[in-house]
């Protein structure tokens, strides 16, 4: 085949690809979640350069709007990358070789924190509990008092289990020990209160595709004055150039010197998503999610099902429902997707096959949508042999 013939063959094969028409889904999983129509519209706006004054203003708007969601008057910025990029940035910037790094381990993402810290040569110590359990104030204080770490990390809202961990005792004990407190807020920001300043968190990171109802691609962060001082005093170079927060903060907030080419359209989307939240009012948004969570739990219990996490420690936006005996959760999920266009997730790790992970957040967090889900879930369970 000649070069011309090969080019024509490739052109013809390209013509066989159909137009991009994603199926309509109801994203009741743990993320990504449904995206507000205004956010889709923002994504379609013309891009400008990543050093353009307009984009610099967009970044500034985003940083200001994030303060309300995090509950802070301190520094906020955005990492160009998903929530795991925020996690990596938090670990890379506040861990040096040999740093004692204490992890409250009770789920998949505390395990990921552990792995990242080990790769940065931290001396990792873990307080482990079964997936879905949380830590008491006394347990937190005793662990930190005994280990005397330099950095303490916990997951505020554990996506793998549906458990919400209070951070006040953890952060207070960390400060008493002279340590920094890192909080994973990937599943909490925008849906449940984070209360960064009030809790005493030093570094928090999140994502865009859960409580903020935005596509995945960015990781918002909040950094306390204490952590900023720590960062400025650091003498050992951050091993990750891309996630060096001093460089990112300078680009985002101070000199606006080039650091990387930021995803312009995603910043547009995040700005619009945060404006939607601001117009609703953050406290009204939290209350809407709490109200829908109660309706959801009531409906689940009426089916004879049980929640995996005790009531006092449940995440309002992410529900873990026990799989009834004799039911194949994978078949339930497939039937829901095929017949109703509803996506939910199963468990993994120790919870594989044992729980459904069902998100009720953002645009789907209305009582009508919850009732729609419960009706389809009930029908699907019955079709898979569960007697309600």
Q: What is the pLDDT of residue 7?
A: 58
Looking at the structure, do residues 268 and 287 belong to the same domain, yes or no? no
Same domain, 319 and 256: no
Average pLDDT over residues 171-192: 98
| In-domain check, residue 124 | yes
Q: What is the pLDDT of residue 5?
A: 58
On whether both 69 and 211 belong to a single domain, the answer is: yes
Tell me how far apart the alpha carbons of residues 278 and 268 are, in angstroms, rounded to a whole number. Answer: 15
Give the pLDDT mean for 182-203.
98
In a domain, 264, yes or no: yes
What's this model's pTM, rounded to 2 decimal places? Answer: 0.95
Q: Do 158 and 190 have their domain in common?
A: yes
Mean pLDDT for all residues in the chain: 96
User: What's the confidence (pLDDT) of residue 6?
Assistant: 61
Mean pLDDT, rounded, for 102-112: 98
What is the percent of the chain where pLDDT is above 70? 96
Cα torsion for 143, 145, 146, 151, to the nearest 10°?
70
Does the pLDDT at position 13 exceed 70? Answer: no
C-beta of residue 368 within 8 angstroms of C-beta of residue 296: no
What is the structure's pLDDT at 283?
98
Whether 158 and 274 share a structural domain: yes
Q: Once rounded to an integer, what is the mean pLDDT over residues 39-59? A: 98
Q: Is residue 1 part of a domain?
A: no
**Res 264 pLDDT > 70:** yes
End position of a domain, from candidates 263, 278, 293: 278
- 71 with 120, same domain: the answer is yes
Residue 10 lies in a domain: no
Check: CB of residue 204 under 8 Å from CB of residue 58: no
What is the per-residue pLDDT for 222? 98
Same-domain check for residues 123 and 226: yes
Is the model's pLDDT at 167 over the cut of 60? yes
The last residue of a domain, from among 253, 278, 303: 278
Q: How far apart are CA 345 and CA 335, in angstroms?
A: 12
Residue-number span of the structural domain to which 341 is assigned? 26-32+282-383
Would 131 be classed as within a structural domain?
yes
Q: In terms of domains, do 196 and 327 share one?
A: no
Q: What is the pLDDT of residue 244?
A: 98
pLDDT over 60 (residue 238): yes
Evaluate whether 127 touches 347 at the Cβ level (below 8 Å).
no
Exposed / middle / buried, residue 53 (Cβ in 10 Å: 0-12, 13-18, 19+):
exposed
Do the domain assignments include residue 6? no
| Residues 6+ positions from 254 with CB-CB distance below 8 Å | none
> What is the pLDDT confidence band of residue 56, given thresholds at 50, 70 and 90?
very high
CATH number where 95 lies: 3.40.640.10
Residues 187, 172 share a domain? yes
The confidence score (pLDDT) of residue 260 equals 97
320: Cα separation from own chain's centroid: 16
pLDDT of 8: 59
Sheet containing 318-322: order of strands:
318-322, 355-359, 345-346
Task: Provide the pLDDT confidence category of residue 236 given band limits of 50, 70 and 90.
Answer: confident
* Residue 209, φ and ψ in degrees, nearest 5: -95, 10
Residue 341 located in a structural domain: yes
Residue 334, pLDDT above cutoff 90: yes
More confident residue, 171 or 234: 171
Domain co-membership, 237 together with 321: no
Which of the pair, 14 or 294, is modelled with greater confidence? Answer: 294
CA pair distance 203, 326, nearest whole angstrom: 43
Query: What's the mean pLDDT in 24-33?
Result: 97
- Same domain? 120 vs 257: yes
Alpha-carbon gap, residue 223 to 225, rounded angstroms: 7
Mean pLDDT of 235-248: 95
Q: Which pLDDT score, from 0 to 100, does residue 18 have?
A: 87
Residue 9 has pLDDT above 80, yes or no: no
- Whether the Cβ atoms of residue 290 and residue 297 lie closer than 8 Å to each other: no
pLDDT digits (tens, 9 = 90+) for 292-326: 999 999 999 999 999 999 999 999 999 999 999 99
pLDDT, position 16: 80
Tell me what the mean pLDDT of segment 64-91 comes to: 98
pLDDT of residue 297: 98
Residue of 67, 65, 51, 77 whose CA lies nearest to 245: 77
Same structural domain, 232 and 368? no
d(CA 73, CA 32): 28
CATH of the domain at 297: 3.90.1150.10
Where among 278, 294, 329 does a domain terminate? 278
pLDDT at 235: 87
Distance CA 279, CA 273 (A): 10
Q: Per-residue pLDDT averaged across 253-259, rounded?
A: 96
| Structural domain count, the chain | 2
pLDDT given at position 137: 96
Could you tell me if residue 221 is inside a domain? Answer: yes
Output the pLDDT for position 272.
98
């Amino acid at each position: 085949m000649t070069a011309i013939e090969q080019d024509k063959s490739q052109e013809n094969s390209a013509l066989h690809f159909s137009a991009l028409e994603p199926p309509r889904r109801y994203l009741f999983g743990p993320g990504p979640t449904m995206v507000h129509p205004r956010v889709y519209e923002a994504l379609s706006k013309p891009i400008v350069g990543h050093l353009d004054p307009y984009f610099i203003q967009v970044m500034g708007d985003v940083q200001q709007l994030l303060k309300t969601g995090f509950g802070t008057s301190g520094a906020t910025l955005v990492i160009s990358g998903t929530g795991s990029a925020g996690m990596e940035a938090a670990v890379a910037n506040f861990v040096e070789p040999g740093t004692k790094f204490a992890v409250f381990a009770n789920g998949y993402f505390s395990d990921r924190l552990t792995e990242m810290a080990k790769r940065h040569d931290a001396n990792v110590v873990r307080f482990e509990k079964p997936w879905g359990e949380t830590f008491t104030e006394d347990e937190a204080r005793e662990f930190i008092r005994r280990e005397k770490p330099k950095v303490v990390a916990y997951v505020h809202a554990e996506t793998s289990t549906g458990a919400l961990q209070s951070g006040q005792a953890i952060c207070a004990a960390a400060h008493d020990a002279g340590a920094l407190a890192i909080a994973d807020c990937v599943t909490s920001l925008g849906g449940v209160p984070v209360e960064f300043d009030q809790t005493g968190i030093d570094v928090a990171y999140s994502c865009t595709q859960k409580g903020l109802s935005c596509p995945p691609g960015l990781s918002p962060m909040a950094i306390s004055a204490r952590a900023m001082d720590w960062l400025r005093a650091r003498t050992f170079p951050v091993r990750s150039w891309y996630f060096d927060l001093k460089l990112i903060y300078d680009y985002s907030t101070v000199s606006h010197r080039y650091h990387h080419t930021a995803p312009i359209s995603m910043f547009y989307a995040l700005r619009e998503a945060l404006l939607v939240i601001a117009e609703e009012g953050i406290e009204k948004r939290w209350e809407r999610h709490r109200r829908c969570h109660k309706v959801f739990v009531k409906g689940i219990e009426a089916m004879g099902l049980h929640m995996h996490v005790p009531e006092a420690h449940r995440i309002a936006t992410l529900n873990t429902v026990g799989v009834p005996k004799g039911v194949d959760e994978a078949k339930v999920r497939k039937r829901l997707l095929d017949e109703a266009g509803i996506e939910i997730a199963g468990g993994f790790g120790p919870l594989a096959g044992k729980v459904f992970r069902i998100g009720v957040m953002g645009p789907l967090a209305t009582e009508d949508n919850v009732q729609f889900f419960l009706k389809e879930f009930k029908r699907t369970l019955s079709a898979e042999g569960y007697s309600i």
